Amino acid sequence: MTSLELDDRYSRQILFRPIGPQGQRKLAKSRVAIVGCGATGSAIASLLARAGLGTIRIIDRDYVEPSNLQRQSLFDEADAAESLPKAIAASKKIAAFNSQIVVEPKVSDLVPANIEALLEGMQVILDGTDNFETRYLLNDYAVKNSIPWIYTAAVGSYGVTLNFLPSETACLACIFPDSPRGTIETCETSGILNSAVNLMASISSTEAIKILIGAEDKVRRTLLSFDVWTNDRGEISAAKPHPECRACGEKEFVHLAGEGRPHITLCGRNSVQIHELHRPVDLAEMSDRLTPHGIVRKNDFVLKFWREPYEMTLFPDGRAIIKGTTDTAIARSLYARYVGS
């Protein structure tokens, strides 16, 4: 990075003394992964890209649709009209406002079989996902490989975030030994305010920058929650690992081992993802096959197939999102009927 670039593009950030020129150079050499590029993930990606992080790897399995635009700040109506994969759309938008950095879009579902390849070489992992299944997987990977990671979530007017520093702080499994049970709020049932999303994304992005420039003494060591509507705020200490924690205490990485991975009901829509059948799909060939059975639209990244009352989005790796049901049996049946078993 030249002195001109330091003095110009990032000048106001460099004037902030805890970062300064040295911190900015560290950011320019940094490599982070953002897993999930929906509401929080897209806001985090935008903030870190504008802050000048050298390489940002964006991993997301989903595509842009109109209901995303209220809160997912990197996307526009054209992205939704084309059903662009979120990772691709995000990389294009970032390139338009910061061509100095590298963005690596990965249109993929993060699972035990590919997590090593997708997260290799990353210094910090940021959570932009919408389910605890993937978060526990990230936690297992981060603990096993001693990589800092940041958990972030928002729903309704409420947001929560937790930093994990290897061997120093509690991990996600220390705080939540088991997945939440019973009725769980989602974007689909409770809605979401974009202000809650942006608040938590801003906090998480700042924590990532602290870690990357070596200011770990300033990193928050609590599980922080905040409700932007009621102004309720809470913190739970996460300063020390729990000695009996499954992950960081006993080193039992059950999620990395792939134990009990169900189909995922996606946040924000009545749908099921088929993620267990990883095989290459020729979208052009599939378009010809499906056209007699319903409405088909495709681009280089996804194929969409409508047959009332269902909508199927098919990706080149064989994944599919079946919209119109939360019944995994129906989703499997539709996949087997039109794609193959």
- The predicted-structure confidence for 176-200, as pLDDT tens digits, reads as follows 998 765 445 666 557 899 999 999 9
The answer to the question of residue 255 being in a domain is no
Comparing CA positions, the residue from 111, 125, 104 lying closest to residue 61 is: 111
The answer to the question of residue 312 being in a domain is yes
Are 287 and 175 within one domain?
no
What is the per-residue pLDDT across 324-338, written as a single tens digit (0 to 9) for each?
A: 988 877 887 788 788
Instruction: Residue 149: give its domain's CATH number.
Output: 3.40.50.720
**Greater model confidence, 62 or 219:** 219
Are 69 and 210 within one domain?
yes
- Total number of domains in the chain: 2
Instruction: Residue 326: give its domain's CATH number.
Output: 3.30.310
How far is Cα 103 from Cα 88, in angstroms, rounded to an integer?
10
Q: Which two tokens stand for residue 300?
A: 């280089």
Convert 64-92 to b/e letters by CB count within 10 Å (16 or more is b): bbeebeebbbbbeeebbebbbbbbbbbbe
How far is Cα 252 from Cα 261, in angstroms, rounded to an integer?
16
Are 37 and 186 within one domain?
yes
What is the per-residue pLDDT across 301-318, written as a single tens digit (0 to 9) for each?
A: 999 999 989 999 999 888
The answer to the question of residue 317 being in a domain is yes
The answer to the question of residue 24 being in a domain is yes
| Sequence-distant (≥ 6) Cβ neighbours of residue 329 within 8 angstroms | none
Task: Give the pLDDT score at 226.
Answer: 97
Are 58 and 186 within one domain?
yes
> Sign of dihedral through CA atoms 180, 186, 192, 195?
positive
Are 218 and 293 within one domain?
no
Point out the domain boundary residue: 213, 237, 261.
237
How far is Cα 41 from Cα 7, in angstroms, rounded to an integer?
29
Share of the chain above pLDDT 90, in %: 70
- Reported pTM: 0.83
Q: Could you give the residue numbers annotated as active site?
A: 187
Are 279 and 233 within one domain?
no
pLDDT band of residue 260 (cuts 50, 70, 90) is low
Task: Give the pLDDT score at 188.
Answer: 59
Task: Give the pLDDT score at 5.
Answer: 54
Residue 295 belongs to domain spanning? 270-338
How far is Cα 172 from Cα 162, in angstroms, rounded to an integer?
8
